[in-house]
Amino acid sequence: MAQPTSDLPRLTSQKAFDEFRARAIEKWEAIWNGKKTVVSIGIGSSSIPVGALDVMAAFERIADKENLHVRKTGVDGADWTDVQVRVKRPGEPAVVYANVVPSDAKGIIDGKHRGKIIGVEGDQPFDGIQPLDTHPFYKYQQRIVLQDVGVIDPDSIEEAIARGAYMGLYRALFELTPEEVIAEVTTANVRGRGGAGFPAGIKWESGRKARVTPKFVTCNSHEGEPNVYKDRRIHEGDPHRVLEGILIACVAVGAERGYNYVGGEYPLAIQRFRKAVDDATALGLVGRDMLGSGKNVAFRLRTGGGAYVCGEGSAMMYSIMGVRGQPRTKPPRSVEEGLWKRPTVANNTETLSNMRDIVVKGGEWYAQFGTEKSKGTKLMTVQGPMKTMGLVEVPMGINFKTLIDEVWGGMRDGYTFKGIQTGGVSAGPLRYEQLDVPVDFDSLTPLGGMLGSGGFVVFDETVCAVDFARYLTAFNRVESCSKCVPCARGNPALVETVDRIRFGRGSQRDLPLLERTSKHVIELSLCGLGQVAPMPLLGMMQQYPEEFQAHIDGVCPCGVCPVSAEATVEALAAD
Q: Which residue has the higher pLDDT, 134 or 4?
A: 134
C-alpha–C-alpha distance, residues 158 and 180, integer Å: 28
Q: What's the pLDDT at 4?
A: 46
pLDDT of residue 565: 65
Measure the CA–CA gap between 57 and 101, rounded to whole angstroms: 11
Composition of the chain by helix, strand, coil, percent to 5: 45, 15, 40
> Nearest 5°: CA angle at 350, between 153 and 328?
135
Provide the percentage of residues in the chain whose pLDDT is more than 90.
Answer: 91
Q: Please, which residues have CB within 8 angstroms of residue 286's CB and are 6 or more apart in sequence?
A: 1, 2, 243, 247, 277, 280, 297, 298, 299
User: What are the tens digits of pLDDT across the range 185-224?
Assistant: 999 999 999 888 899 999 999 999 999 999 999 999 999 8
| DSSP classification of residue 307 | -
What integer best gives the mean pLDDT of the chain? 95
Number of CB atoms found within 10 A of residue 425's CB: 25
Instruction: Please state the rounded mean pLDDT for residues 512-517.
Output: 97
Q: Which residues contact 505 (CB under 8 A, 6 or more apart)?
A: none
Burial class (CB in 10 A: 0-12, 13-18, 19+), 549: middle
Query: What letter would DSSP give residue 386?
Result: B
- Rounded to whole angstroms, the Cα distance separating 348 from 220 reads 5
Q: With H, G, I as helix, E, B as strand and everything else as coil, classify residue 411.
A: strand
With CA atoms as reference, report the closest residue to 184 among 21, 409, 365. Answer: 365
- Residue 144 predicted with pLDDT over 90: yes
Q: Are 116 and 106 in contact (CB under 8 A)?
A: no
Nearest-angstrom CA–CA distance, 16 and 170: 12
State the pLDDT at residue 103. 98
Mean pLDDT along residues 528-532 = 92
The answer, yes or no, to whether residue 444 has pLDDT greater than 80, is yes
Concatenating the DSSP letter of every residue in 299-348 gives EEEEEE-S-GGGGSHHHHHHHHTTS------SSSPTTTS-GGGS-EEEEE
CA dist 246 and 240 (Å) reads 10
Beta-strand runs (E) in 15-139: 37-42, 68-73, 85-88, 95-97, 117-120
What is the per-residue pLDDT across 90-117, written as a single tens digit (0 to 9) for each?
999 999 999 999 999 999 999 999 999 9
Distance of CA 332 to the CA centre of its chain: 28
Cα→Cα distances 296→281, 338, 347, 485, 514, Å: 12, 20, 20, 44, 53
Q: What is the pLDDT at residue 329?
A: 87
Pairing of the two strands 37-42 and 68-73? parallel
d(CA 54, CA 243): 30
pLDDT band of residue 483 (cuts 50, 70, 90) is: very high
Helical (H) or strand (E) element with 217: strand 216-221
429-430, strands of its sheet edge to edge? 392-395, 377-383, 455-460, 417-421, 429-430
Task: Go through the chain and tell me how many residues it has.
Answer: 575
Give me the pLDDT at residue 564, please: 75
Helix 545-552 and helix 485-502: axis angle, to 10°? 60
Do 334 and 317 contact (CB within 8 A), yes or no?
yes
Residue from 424, 380, 421, 427 nearest 399 by CA: 380
pLDDT band at 572 (very low <50, low <70, confident <90, very high): very low
Strand bridging mode 257-263 / 377-383: unpaired
10 Å Cβ neighbour count for 322? 7
Indicate the pLDDT class of residue 569, thresholds 50, 70 and 90: low
Which stretches of 480-509 are DSSP H helices?
485-502
Q: What's the pLDDT at 225? A: 84
**Residue 3 pLDDT greater than 50, yes or no:** no
Question: Residue 330 has what pLDDT?
Answer: 86
pLDDT tens sequence across 364-386: 999 999 999 999 999 999 999 99
For residue 526, give Cα distances in angstroms to 16, 342, 478. Answer: 51, 22, 16
Question: 568 pLDDT band (50/70/90 cuts)?
Answer: low
Residue 314 near residue 334, CB atoms below 8 Å: yes
Question: Looking at the DSSP assignment, which residues form a beta bridge with residue 263?
Answer: 304
pLDDT tens digit sequence for 239-288: 999 999 999 999 999 999 999 999 889 999 999 999 999 999 999 999 99
- Give the whole-angstrom CA distance, residue 237 versus residue 84: 14
Sheet of strand 344-348: strand arrangement: 298-304, 257-263, 216-221, 344-348
Domains, the chain, ordered by start: 35-134 (3.40.30.10), 157-367 (3.40.50.11540), 377-460 (3.10.20.600), 465-574 (1.20.1440.230)
Question: Tell me, what amino acid is at 123?
Answer: D
Band of residue 305 on the pLDDT scale cut at 50, 70, 90: confident
178 neighbors 253 (Cβ within 8 angstroms):
yes
Question: What digits encode the pLDDT tens for the residues 417-430?
Answer: 999 999 888 899 99
The one-letter amino acid at 258: G
- In tens, the pLDDT along 306-330 reads 889 998 999 999 999 999 999 998 8
Average pLDDT of span 403-430? 96
- Residue 555 CA to residue 502 CA, distance in Å, equals 9
